[in-house]
Structure 1
Amino acid sequence: MRRFAHFVRPWLPSHRCRSSFSGSTKMIRRFILKFAAAFLALFAAGGAACADDYPSRPITLVAPFPPGGALDLIARALAQKLQEQWGQTVVVDNRSGAAGIIGTTQVARSAPDGYTILLGATTTHGINPSLYKSLQYDAVADFEPVSLVATIPHLLVVNPGLPVHTFGDFVKLAKEKTLPFGSAGIGSPHHLAGEMLKSQLHLNLQHIPYKGSAPAMTAVMSGETAFMSVEVTAASQYIKAGKMRPIAVAAAKRLPTIDVPTFAEVGLPGFEVTAWYAIFAPKGTPRPIVDKLSQALAKAVHAKDVQTRFASLDATPVGSTPDELRRYVDSEIKRWAQAVKAANVSMD
């Protein structure tokens, strides 16, 4: 409301004349305040009316990574449940490339009407803001947080031929000799997790980047590298086949499917590396629409069939509020900024 008063101030009587027109000035100010209040009420009513009609046409859910991965599978599970709830088509659009930047930028530049939304992730909204100095989008300023929908923790896995059965064994060996570790690429969560271990425990580690997590895991299994930090979803089948040995899980709690201790249990409290997935809308999307989306997503992730689907990915359903997601993203940006700095990497 102060902006309205500031706008009309040049047209108010000068200081020398204010005593003569004090009554008129008060009337003008009252008029401005009433006008501003009416305008804000009308704006809020308009947003609520939009939410009542939403969605009235198909929605595009942009997945900024290729088909077949965990993010894509989570996007398709959510799209199906939203479609069932609303009776409107929800199309998953895979716009992959450049560490999720292409698809994320597209959504940032879309109309803020709730009909183009994004399934963002650790990379797009946690790591990229620090890794790219000239990022084409602002992870905070260009988006409305909607809901954190799922998380998948990382595991520390080693080649089964190594004399490493516990985290203590791993630390001891990494202090005696240089251990090569693989990742899905420079600046990926797999890379930064290894760099965090290196800096926090003063280990002798050498990073070898690969073009994706699949070839990086192949390198661990073949003995080309000694270990890596990788999502449970990707590693689980190889662990069951005895091709990788799990050492610790980078989560607050133990996994129900793979019996290994958390990093906190082995003496490294606070060491958590999580692949997380969250829905974002373009900045300026009306709050009533954001809230309606968030509530629908919370219902979706707690549906029995979605929970079964998530369990097959070793993913934990969340379904947060917009404000909870906002705080989570802020904390993740700060945490990964420290990791990027410790690794001394930049993609610019």
Structure 2
Amino acid sequence: MNRRSLLVLTTILSLCGSAAAQEFPARPITIVVGSSPGSATDALARAVALEVTKETGQAVIVDNRAGAFGGIAAQFAARAQPDGYTLFMTTNTTQSANPHLQKKLSHDPIKDFAPVSLLTKGYQLLVVNPKVKANSVAELVALAKTVPGKLNYGSGSSSAQVATELFQQMTGSRFNYVPYKANPPAVMDLVAGQTDLMIADLATTLPQVKAGKLRALGVTSPQRLPLVQGVPAIAESLPGYEFGYWNAVYAPAGTPAPVVARLNALMQSAMKAPAVRHAAEQAGMEVALSTPDELAKFQLSELHRWGQIIKTAGIVAE
């Protein structure tokens, strides 16, 4: 094949790809989620699915595949046909934390996926049981240093655990880690006084704060959050502290670029819908959109950051 023929063939394939992307989707799309129904990611996926259906006229199905800290869903999505009809809505757990926390993964969070779009960034709340004699971050740190390793913190997610590990590293305090399978039961034990403190998502902790069952000391965002009025940012007494979680959408690696671009446009449109934005804000998240390339760069930086915190904390992969 000469150069001219190759150029013609390339042009034809490009035009075909663009045409296919313009017609996409031509059938239902499945969004795979690595958590159970009712979780923050599941709620976001269903809100996005509704908006994409409205725009395209095609059904969007949310497929919950909980287990292995999102690993079961990640493996399924990574092995799906790279045609844009199977998407993976996930968090930093599978894409940034698990590679440092698990010895063996069934997927590669970088090589096995084509980034589509970042969706949201969420922040957490530092809460204590009312019996703990600390009404501020500074008082908690002072208390912890008088009884090193005596205060127990619960965690049912990588975000909760690593956020607390970072807090310890930056303050020189030391807590005793109590693992849970999920944040809700960890919060219930905190309310019952089985543990002393926790840093977890607002959706799980804020209702308990409003009910007077937990005391909020600080948010992990750089500035105060309107959703938690009167609660300072941890950074106000611990400069530089910031920690959160994020949601993003990926397609299987090898998905054609024009289809990825179309999916990105659909995600951007869905996330701008008032209903979706409101749902995100009520869960303590903010809409944070990106291009596929921006998501790829962001994920790499997060993968490095989480790795550094986990290594410094001495957490051994299991």
Structure 1 position 230, deviation (Å): 0.3
Q: Residue 125 in 1 paired to residue 95 in 2?
A: yes
Alpha-carbon distance between aligned partners in 1 of 2:82 and 2:223, rounded to the nearest angstrom:
38
Alpha-carbon distance between aligned partners in 1 of 2:45 and 2:77, rounded to the nearest angstrom:
15
Alpha-carbon distance between aligned partners in 2 of 1:324 and 1:73, rounded to the nearest angstrom:
24
**Larger deviation, residues 73-82 vs 215-224:** 215-224
Alpha-carbon distance between aligned partners in 2 of 1:95 and 1:44, rounded to the nearest angstrom:
35
2:84 — aligned with what? 114
Structure 1 position 243, deviation (Å): 0.9
Alpha-carbon distance between aligned partners in 2 of 1:58 and 1:336, rounded to the nearest angstrom:
35
Alpha-carbon distance between aligned partners in 1 of 2:268 and 2:176, rounded to the nearest angstrom:
41
- 1:184/1:213 contact within 8 Å kept: yes
Structure 1 position 40, deviation (Å): 3.2
1:25 — aligned with what? none
CA deviation profile, 1:8-33 (whole Å, cap 9, x unmatched): xxxxxxxxxxxxxxxxxxxxxxx654
Picking from 152, 166, 175, the partner of 1:180 is: 152
CA deviation profile, 1:41-70 (whole Å, cap 9, x unmatched): 333222212101100001011011111110
Alpha-carbon distance between aligned partners in 2 of 1:189 and 1:311, rounded to the nearest angstrom:
18
Alpha-carbon distance between aligned partners in 2 of 1:37 and 1:332, rounded to the nearest angstrom:
39
Q: Residue 268 in 1 paired to residue 239 in 2?
A: yes
Structure 1 position 319, deviation (Å): 2.5
CA deviation profile, 1:75-121 (whole Å, cap 9, x unmatched): 00000000000000000000111100001111111111000001010
1:83-122 aligned at under 5 Å gives the runs 83-122=53-92
**Larger deviation, residues 41-50 vs 170-179:** 41-50
**Larger deviation, residues 134-143 vs 188-197:** 188-197
Alpha-carbon distance between aligned partners in 1 of 2:317 and 2:209, rounded to the nearest angstrom:
32
2:199 — aligned with what? 229
Alpha-carbon distance between aligned partners in 2 of 1:306 and 1:130, rounded to the nearest angstrom:
32
Report the identity percentage: 36
Alpha-carbon distance between aligned partners in 2 of 1:35 and 1:249, rounded to the nearest angstrom:
61
CA deviation profile, 1:242-267 (whole Å, cap 9, x unmatched): 11111111112211021222222112
CA deviation profile, 1:211-239 (whole Å, cap 9, x unmatched): 21112112221222110110011111101
Alpha-carbon distance between aligned partners in 1 of 2:290 and 2:247, rounded to the nearest angstrom:
11
Taking structure 2 as the reference length, the TM-score comes to 0.94
Give 3-state SS (helix, strand or coil) of 1:246's partner.
Answer: strand
**Larger deviation, residues 164-173 vs 125-134:** 125-134
1:278 — aligned with what? 248
- 1:152/1:233 contact within 8 Å kept: no
Give 3-state SS (helix, strand or coil) of 2:80's partner.
Answer: coil
- 2:22/2:262 contact within 8 Å kept: no
Give 3-state SS (helix, strand or coil) of 2:119's partner.
Answer: strand
Alpha-carbon distance between aligned partners in 2 of 1:78 and 1:303, rounded to the nearest angstrom:
9
**Larger deviation, residues 307-316 vs 283-292:** 307-316
- 1:154/1:250 contact within 8 Å kept: yes
- 1:154/1:229 contact within 8 Å kept: yes
Give 3-state SS (helix, strand or coil) of 2:231's partner.
Answer: coil
How many residue pairs are counted as aligned between the two chains?
Answer: 315
**Ranges in structure 1 where 5+ consecutive residues have no aligned partner:** 1-30
Alpha-carbon distance change, 32 to 176 in structure 1, aligned in 2, over 3 angstroms = farther
Q: Residue 220 in 1 paired to residue 184 in 2?
A: no
Picking from 273, 294, 303, the partner of 1:303 is: 273
- 1:156/1:228 contact within 8 Å kept: yes
1:57-72 aligned at under 5 Å gives the runs 57-72=27-42
Alpha-carbon distance between aligned partners in 1 of 2:286 and 2:80, rounded to the nearest angstrom:
29
Greater C-alpha radius of gyration: 1
CA deviation profile, 1:144-199 (whole Å, cap 9, x unmatched): 111111122011111122221111101101111131111116xx221122222222
The letter for the 2-side match of 1:200 is M
Alpha-carbon distance between aligned partners in 1 of 2:275 and 2:118, rounded to the nearest angstrom:
18
- 1:298/1:318 contact within 8 Å kept: no
The RMSD of aligned alpha carbons is 1.5
Give 3-state SS (helix, strand or coil) of 1:100's partner.
Answer: helix
1:17 — aligned with what? none
Give 3-state SS (helix, strand or coil) of 1:345's partner.
Answer: coil
